Structure 1
Amino acid sequence: MPAGWVAGDEVYGGNPTLRADLETRQVGYVMAVACDHRVTTVTGKYRADELVERVAKRAWQRLSAGKGAKGHRFYDWAWISLVGGQDEPAGHRWLLVWRNRRTGELAYYRCYAPGRVPLATLVRIAGRRWTVEESFQTSKGQTGLDEHQCRTWRSWYRWTTLVLLVHAFLAIVTVTARATPVPTGLVPLTLNEIRHLYNALVVTPVADIQHVLHCSYWRRRHQYRAHKPTTSANRSRSHEDHEARLEY
């Protein structure tokens, strides 16, 4: 499957061979680099943290790196044009800088694109790396991505392919299920809940289907209440639910 962009952490961003190979293939990338990573501009060679001190205040832009659990993730971003070497492929190169508005924390990204792209595109790709990492964590927890013993390449490849296929199946079912309005008092179906139901109703069918569905509704109802702001009335209701749960 062809990829339009590559994203990675400092391990990959600091690898000049990998960056050169991607540029030769004309594949854009946004990869994190360390604060002491050296880059070249029209005025000379600098460390990334030295170069960011030269960025004017008006150069920072507040952009979203994508949606998180609590909505859009807005941060300050700035970019600085870099100069490529004479033996490097044609294209556009930048140093992308991320800044947390509350803490002032900084992060740096080495970027490349065959053609000119807006800052918002680089920010979107940087944010996608977090989504990819979240997907890996979900695959490990829900479908066993990290449970193979890696004895041979072929067996590892088959295992990983099947695991990611299962993850894709669960993700598609989750999105499809969420297209239907959720009943009042329940959280939307999650990938974890769908996996649990699929195992209980399809993989190893149980005799009492109604019991499984009742337990699923019970979990979603209590998850919904757990996300609501706590008030005196809710605290009283939570105590009653706790007593009912013990009895159940």
Structure 2
Amino acid sequence: MIRRSWMSGGSIETTLELWASALRDVKGRIAPLFTQARVAASAGQFLDGLLGDERRKTGWMRAEAAGDPGPWRQQALLGRGRWDADALRDMVRDYAMETLADPEAVLVVDETGFLKQGKASCGVGRQYTGSAGKITNCQIGVFAAYVSRHGHAFIDRALYLPKAWTGDADRMAAAHVPKETAFSTKPALALAMIGRAIAACVPFGWVAADSVYGVGDIEMALRRAGKGYVLGVNANHHFGSWIGKPPVAGAAEEIAGALDPSLWKRLSAGAGTKGERLHDWAYCELADLDAAAYDESRSGLWTRGLLIRKNIADGALAFFSTWCPAGTDIATLVRVEGHRWAIEDGFETAKNELGLDHNETRSWHGWHRHVSLVMLAFAMMAAIRHRANATPPPKRPRTVLPKHKQT
């Protein structure tokens, strides 16, 4: 049951002990979410199935692993049962913080696609997903991952509903979407996740995201909250500097083309599967602003800027709007941007090993329940990995007593 990818250090014996205790722990934590002990037991077996060796985490596969004659109990857990998936989401977040919490952590927002057939699955439609690299029939889930020096885990999620869904009351009712649910853009879903993390006092210093989430309300909300950010923007996004900064004005791509070659620095955005992820980077400070301009209870000088990444191999450019305490260096901003790799790694692991995209339910609550249980399994593995790899305390030197005190 323990995959090699989940063990980057520590002895097998230690990891087995951590595995057993962690699994007992999370099953105990989720039990109060269910009104009946048998449903709690089914949830525990569901987790066992997600963490098992089967490549496909279908209802039949999970049922077989649980010793059930069919997938009905597994399906009932996701569909007919009465329990709150958002309560589980919050529990996963709090559980992850016990191991991963760090005030300099980065909250990474991104989306992933769930390929589907037919038209009945909640939120399904022909839409672009980076998972397939094209427009295809799929669901889109927006996620928030917490990334720190201790590891990373998903702490929030939301199913995106296109207007073709929110504008069709019968379709929404058939998928059991809550009546109060209205259309929300992906940035609006992400903003709600950031708000929930702040309200829950989740410690983080930064937010990173790609250009889908890079401008507008998210920027303003983070400035008011005193959080730094590195948010992707399009090549035609306009930037301009203020008094006291080197003169810069124009579209991001134009600014990049006019930069002095000496301003580019080769820096690593962090270690990847093939070593350090090196690119050429440039950073333009645009304005120094007082934090009190966004929140009277805060003070201190913050800097708005433009961060530019150039691919070493082909020269392709990417652009990021930044907000950080004055004096923050380019290497720090590059590292923050590099944390986005963790959510991509998380999607790959959760899909390939934990069945994130193997959900067979069609309802709103079925999607959120399945995804939340996968998030719990992922957070548990992050906790095990961190504890297994923790440096053991140094051994104390043996004290040798003088001969006259030895017995």
Q: TM-score range by the shorter chain?
A: 0.5 to 0.7
Report matched runs for 1:91-240 at 5 Å.
Answer: 91-148=302-359, 149=361, 151-152=363-364, 157-174=368-385
Aligned to 2:238: 38
Q: 1:52: Cα distance to partner?
A: 1.0
Instruction: Label 1:79 to 1:24 Cα distance change in 2 as closer, same or farther (>3 A).
Output: same
The amino acid of 1:4's aligned partner reads: G
Alignment of 1:49 with 2:253, yes or no, is yes
Please give the alpha-carbon distance, in whole angstroms, between the structure 2 residues aligned to 1:60 and 1:156. 45
Alignment deviations for residues 87-140 of structure 1 (CA, whole Å, 9 cap, x no partner): 953621110000112211111111111443111110001111022122122112
The amino acid of 2:251's aligned partner reads: R
Unpaired runs of 5+ in structure 2?
1-201, 295-300, 391-407
- Greater mean deviation of Cα atoms: 40-49 or 30-39: 40-49
The amino acid of 2:363's aligned partner reads: R
Q: 1:36: Cα distance to partner?
A: 0.3
Q: 1:176: Cα distance to partner?
A: 6.2
Please give the alpha-carbon distance, in whole angstroms, between the structure 2 residues aligned to 1:96 and 1:150. 41
The amino acid of 1:27's aligned partner reads: K
**1:8 pairs with one of 209, 212, 235:** 209
Q: 1:64: Cα distance to partner?
A: 0.5
Q: Percent identity over the alignment? A: 36
Please give the alpha-carbon distance, in whole angstroms, between the structure 1 residues aligned to 2:332 and 2:227. 14
Aligned to 2:102: none
- Greater mean deviation of Cα atoms: 50-59 or 36-45: 36-45
SS at match of 1:53: helix
Q: 1:151: Cα distance to partner?
A: 3.2
Please give the alpha-carbon distance, in whole angstroms, between the structure 1 residues aligned to 2:224 and 2:265. 31
Instruction: Label 1:150 to 1:127 Cα distance change in 2 as closer, same or farther (>3 A).
Output: farther
Q: TM-score, normalised by structure 2?
A: 0.40
8 Å CA contact retained: 2:248, 2:286: no
The amino acid of 1:60's aligned partner reads: W
8 Å CA contact retained: 1:66, 1:73: yes
Instruction: Label 1:2 to 1:173 Cα distance change in 2 as closer, same or farther (>3 A).
Output: closer
8 Å CA contact retained: 1:40, 1:84: no
Instruction: Label 1:159 to 1:119 Cα distance change in 2 as closer, same or farther (>3 A).
Output: same
Please give the alpha-carbon distance, in whole angstroms, between the structure 2 residues aligned to 1:44 and 1:177. 49
Aligned to 2:281: 77
Aligned to 1:199: none
Q: 1:164: Cα distance to partner?
A: 1.7
SS at match of 2:314: coil
> Is the helix fraction higher in 1 or 2?
1
Alignment deviations for residues 174-223 of structure 1 (CA, whole Å, 9 cap, x no partner): 566678xxxxxxxxxxxxxxxxxxxxxxxxxxxxxxxxxxxxxxxxxxxx
Please give the alpha-carbon distance, in whole angstroms, between the structure 1 residues aligned to 2:321 and 2:304. 8
SS at match of 1:83: strand
Greater relative CO, 1 or 2 (CA 8 Å, sep 6+): 2
8 Å CA contact retained: 2:279, 2:309: yes
SS at match of 2:258: coil
The amino acid of 2:305's aligned partner reads: W
8 Å CA contact retained: 2:248, 2:255: no
Alignment of 1:25 with 2:236, yes or no, is no
Instruction: Label 1:36 to 1:175 Cα distance change in 2 as closer, same or farther (>3 A).
Output: same
Q: TM-score, normalised by structure 1?
A: 0.63
SS at match of 1:39: strand
8 Å CA contact retained: 2:283, 2:330: yes
Runs of 4+ in 1 over 2 A off after TM superposition: 42-45, 83-90, 144-153, 155-162, 168-179
Please give the alpha-carbon distance, in whole angstroms, between the structure 1 residues aligned to 2:314 and 2:227. 33
Aligned to 2:43: none
Please give the alpha-carbon distance, in whole angstroms, between the structure 1 residues aligned to 2:276 and 2:330. 17
The amino acid of 2:228's aligned partner reads: G
Q: 1:145: Cα distance to partner?
A: 2.6
Unpaired runs of 5+ in structure 1?
180-248
